[in-house]
Amino acid sequence: MSILDQFIASYKEKFIEVTPEFDENLLGLIQKTSYTLLDDKMSPSKELRDTLLKLEMRAKEPMKVAITGQFSSGKSTFLNALLSKNILPTGITPVTSKVNYIRYGDELKIRIRYKDGRDEYQSVENIANFTDQREVVQEIEYLTLYVPLELLKDIVFVDTPGLNSQAITDTTTTQRVLKEVDGIIWLSLIDNAGKLSEAKVLEQYLNEYQGKSLCVLNQKDKFEPQQVKQSLEYVKKSFAEYFSDVIPISAKQALESRSHDKKVQTQEELESFLKSLSNSLKSSSSIDIQKEYKSYQEKVQSILASDLSENIDLLKESNIELVLEFIDENIRPLANSSKDFAIKKDINLICDDLIKQHELFLNIYNELDAELNEFEIQADEKFAQLKKKFTKKLKDAYSKIEEIIDTIANDIYNHISQVTKVRYAEQKTGLFKNKTVYEPVEYQVSKIDADTIYKHLFYDDDIVGKMFKKYVRNLKEIQDEVNENNALVYEMLKKKIRRWQNPYEFIRKSKQVDSDIEFANIRKFASKAYENILKPYSDEIHSSYAKISSEFNHLSSAVSFNYQNATGVCVGFLEKKVEQSIKLYEQNPSKFSLYQPRLDEIKERLKISFHLYELQNMMNTNNTFLNKNYDRLVEEFKNINNEKHEFLEKRKERHHKTIAILKKQLL
């Protein structure tokens, strides 16, 4: 391989994700599903991992066949016959108080699973201590019996407490097991078969399992063939809706015959030899292994040389082989099909649950989107109303300034009097008018009584001061009302977001397979609603508050802090103009006239002194600073809304992609 090929291979290994190949069988399907669903980007939960692992284990597991029946129907004896060993304890009372799973194992032992999750291994001789209701076994969840028997490589037998035990929990446990297993063997004693009590139990618990159930009538060895035949026909007819078949057996005969089977005996000899050897090694440092082994071989040869033909007949007569044939020919095909169907159904249910989880998240974001859309419309409407309302109020406030100017103008005008002045006019006298003389000429000029004006307007009565104080209070009221109403628009959004936030700030998953991480992310997102959604709106309202307050302060100070000076400037201007007109008039009366201030001129001069035209642009047009502020708020809120919609779309996009991946996993 060249250096370039090595580099390409290394690059692919590090940076290009290669999907592994999976077998087309059921196990491959589960592994493929697990590969997809347990990817880190799917944020899988521990429960999902466990569920998929259980499905994989279930796909690998052999079929499960439950052994059940009424009290004292001989379930444990029957299982001992199937296993060719007296392993399970038997008794008059219901001794199987826990579910016993009987599985293949390399050595004979039991595993005890406690309710707190602990596992404990024990010798099979101690099994009665953990199954007998006469012993204290409350802390035990279930037992697993491992038996080195070829039959168990394909079958797991489940020994149940029964359906009419004295303990209600036993019946409940058995009901749960019957739903999980692939096949059911209902064990009944021939002389009890068909009784009303059994019919009621079957109707209550087994009416939905006909396709995978076999009825076994035990103890046929105690009755005549004709009696067995009659019982068989009666049960087949009466209980056809509950069982696929009915087989009479003798567990006793089967156990006797199978216990004398050469394979069984040789296996028992092997177990005995190994156990004896193990004990000898523990107790003595020197043993004759060769001698022990020779003794074991002699016993095996003796077993192989013996004639056990009678046991073969006894085994056949017991009908236990028919039970195994039913399991192999009826339950096994159904079990494989059922397992395939059930696991695929479980995969679909898992994917459906995860899809619903992500659809829930999408709905949560969509609800928030809808709240923002509704707020945008309501905010536009509210700002339009406020814009109209405060445009009028500003104009009204502006008219107050005009009223003040009118008051000042009228006062100035009313304090303009006419005083007599004398000028000396040049006169030519004499016959030839060659002599110049100066004669006094009286004329009337305007005189503004500034001291009286100031005293009246600003000092004694303080008319203008009071008017401006009222004007400033009015402006402050408008300012506060504007800011309060703007804040209420934000509060409207805040309430919407809080209402959306409340159910999701503490949301928890409802399905075990749902993602803890995803729900934690939603809770975190909802709990940080201010940072994620509200903050830019709040910042904009605060910014608007500062700008509006600044503009109103300008309106207040522009006239209220300078009204005396502005009035003085106006009076000074008029006085100067009067003086200038007198000077010009005295220089050339024929050319220049005396200036007489008119009321409209005084008002105009006051408007200039008070910078009223600047205030007019701010207060008395359709383009006031408030209108600009509301236009800006509407525009900024729309921009923020668009940013939040894009923000939510990005969050939703991930869930859409995840849903698409999950839908591809549906079978």
**281 within domain boundaries:** no
CA angle 662, 666, 667 (to 5 degrees): 160
Q: Is residue 119 part of a domain?
A: yes
Question: Which residue, chain included where needed, has tokens 């039959």?
Answer: 151
Instruction: Tell me: do 447 and 480 sit in the same domain.
Output: yes
Torsion angles phi and psi, residue 505, rounded to 5:
-70, -25
Average pLDDT over residues 541-567: 87
Q: Are residues 526 and 479 in the same domain?
A: yes
Tens-place pLDDT, residues 429-438:
655 566 777 7
Supply the CATH number for residue 245's domain: 3.40.50.300
Residue-level pLDDT at 374: 95
- The answer to whether residues 368 and 386 belong to one domain is yes
Q: Which residues contact 470 (CB under 8 A, 6 or more apart)?
A: 400
Cβ(357)–Cβ(518) under 8 Å?
Answer: yes
- Read off the pLDDT of each residue in 127-148 and give the average, rounded to a whole number: 72
Task: Select the highest-mean-pLDDT range: 7-21, 217-231, 506-520.
Answer: 506-520
Lookup result for tokens 């679909």: 348
Query: Taking 50 as the threshold, does the pLDDT of residue 457 lie above it?
Result: yes
**Is residue 15 one of the residues assigned to a domain?**
no
Residues 386 and 515 both lie in one domain: yes
In this prediction, residue 173 carries a pLDDT of: 72
- Tokens representing 329 are 């020919």
pLDDT-based confidence at 463, cuts 50/70/90? confident
Q: Which residue has the higher pLDDT, 16 or 230?
A: 230
- Give the pLDDT confidence score for residue 93 in this predicted structure: 39
Among candidate residues 11, 43, 59, the one where a domain is terminated: 59
Q: Are residues 243 and 351 in the same domain?
A: no
- Does 286 score more than 90 pLDDT? no
- Span 587-615, mean pLDDT? 89
96 within some domain: yes
Q: At residue 667, does pLDDT exceed 60? A: yes
Q: How far is CA 28 from the centre of its chain?
A: 31
Regarding whether 55 and 65 lie in a shared domain, the answer is no
| pLDDT of residue 179 exceeding 70 | yes
Mean pLDDT of the 391-405 span: 90
Instruction: Specify if 293 maps to a domain.
Output: no
Task: Give the contacts of 567 (CB within 8 A, at least 6 positions apart).
Answer: 408, 412, 453, 454, 457, 458, 464, 606, 609
Strand partners for 417: 447
pLDDT per residue over 305-341, tens digit each?
665 666 778 888 888 888 888 888 888 887 788 778 8
For the chain, what is the radius of gyration of the CA atoms? 53
**71 vs 237: which has the higher pLDDT:** 237
pLDDT > 90: percent of the chain:
36
Our count of domains for the chain comes to 3
Same domain? 402 vs 549: yes
pLDDT class of 526 with cuts at 50, 70, 90: very high
Quote the pLDDT of residue 92: 38
- Average pLDDT over every residue of 222-249: 88
Assigned token pair, 536: 């830019």
Distance CA 416, CA 397 (A): 29
Q: What is the mean pLDDT of the chain?
A: 84
Residue 201: pLDDT over 50: yes
- 12 — pLDDT class (breaks 50, 70, 90): low
Same domain flag for 54 and 166: no
What was the pLDDT predicted at 530? Answer: 95
**Residue 562 pLDDT:** 80
239 and 351 in a single domain? The answer is no
Statement to judge: residues 129 and 43 lie in one domain: no
Q: Which of 295-299, 343-347, 359-363, 545-549 has the highest mean pLDDT?
A: 359-363
The residue among 502, 639, 624 whose CA lies nearest residue 551 is 624
Is the residue at 401 inside a domain? yes
Does 36 share its domain with 122?
A: no
- CA separation for the pair 80, 83 (Å, rounded): 5
Q: Which of 113-122, 124-133, 378-387 has the highest mean pLDDT?
A: 378-387
Instruction: Say yes or no to pLDDT of 513 above 80.
Output: yes
Cα(472)–Cα(556) distance, integer angstroms: 6
Q: What is the residue type of 49?
A: R
* Structure confidence by residue, pLDDT tens digits, 84-126: 777 776 643 344 557 788 998 888 888 988 888 888 888 877 7
Domain that holds residue 138: 61-261+308-318
Comparing CA positions, the residue from 467, 478, 473, 313 lying closest to residue 404 is 467
**Among 150-159, 214-223, 470-479, whose mean pLDDT is lowest?**
150-159
More confident residue, 403 or 194: 403
Range among 115-119, 528-532, 563-567 rated most confident: 528-532
Distance in angstroms (rounded) separating the CA atoms of residues 553 and 478: 12
390-to-397, 482, 631 alpha-carbon distances in Å? 10, 8, 13
In this structure, of 46-55, 202-211, 415-424, 572-581, the range with the lowest mean pLDDT score is: 202-211
For residue 329, tell me if it sits in a domain: no
4 domain-assigned: no
Same domain, 46 and 172: no
